[in-house]
Amino acid sequence: MTRSERLLQLLDILRRHRHPVTGVAMAQELGISLRTLYRDIASLQGQGAPIEGEAGLGYVLREGFLLPPLTFPVEELEALVMGARWLATKGDEDMARAAESALARLRAVVPPALRTEMDLTTLVVGGPRPAPDQVRSDALRQAIRQQQKLRITYRTGEGALSERVIWPVALAFFDQSRVLLGWCELRGDFRSFRTDRIMAATATGATYRPPRKKLFDDWRRAHGLMAADRN
């Protein structure tokens, strides 16, 4: 992560919190030392960011810093809020954090009247959370983006374990499960794997061809709808 990216992430963290957040908490989330965190805050303040607070007490970002006006019809705003809340509830840990960050950023750039609509919306997400994953989803998403072949240990619904080498293509989010779609070298065909049943996943260091988009288009033409856990 570059320093400029880190400074933007620091601003995002401050935007997510309406009350002062401690330097220790921010440093832990960014994976940096407290000394570096204080240096970054001083740098942002020097550039005009209205960050208030001090070491030991916490920091807060006043609203309105370099934020262009952004408006939506109420229905569109509710759709965005609902989608982000769904991911915050049904998504994996990283996607949930990203959804909450996006909501905080959206709230910061809409006019006060729409901000009130966001705060008062009565749209809620119900139902149980999906089962927790054994493998971090950011590793799966990285393998998808980089077209990296994965060696996985998979547990079927009957409890049997199998080793597979797959070409990960996409992640699908359902109400009570998440599914990794990929080409399975063992089966010589597309297969879908519930992420809570992937016991281990290791990048093989090899990339696959053809390009991921073509592979995904091939799956869509072949299947139309994903049938989870056909293993």
Is 33 inside a domain boundary?
A: yes
Cα 206 to Cα 51: distance, rounded to the nearest angstrom: 46
81-110: average pLDDT: 85
Number of domains making up the chain: 3
Tell me if 128 is assigned to some domain. no
Indicate the pTM of the whole model: 0.60
Residue 130 in domain: no
The pLDDT value recorded for residue 64 is 60
What b-and-e string marks burial along 110-128, b requiring 16 or more CB atoms within 10 Å of the CB? beeebbebbeeeeeeeeee
Residues 108 and 114: their CA atoms lie apart, in Å, by 10
Q: Are 190 and 183 in contact (CB under 8 A)?
A: yes
Contact 109, 72 (CB under 8 A): no
Lowest-confidence region among 92-101, 105-114, 159-168: 105-114
The domain containing residue 38 runs over which residues?
A: 3-61
Q: What percent of the chain has pLDDT over 70?
A: 92
Query: Residue 148, SS3?
Result: strand
Please tell me whether residues 85 and 161 are part of one structural domain: no
Res 164 pLDDT > 70: yes
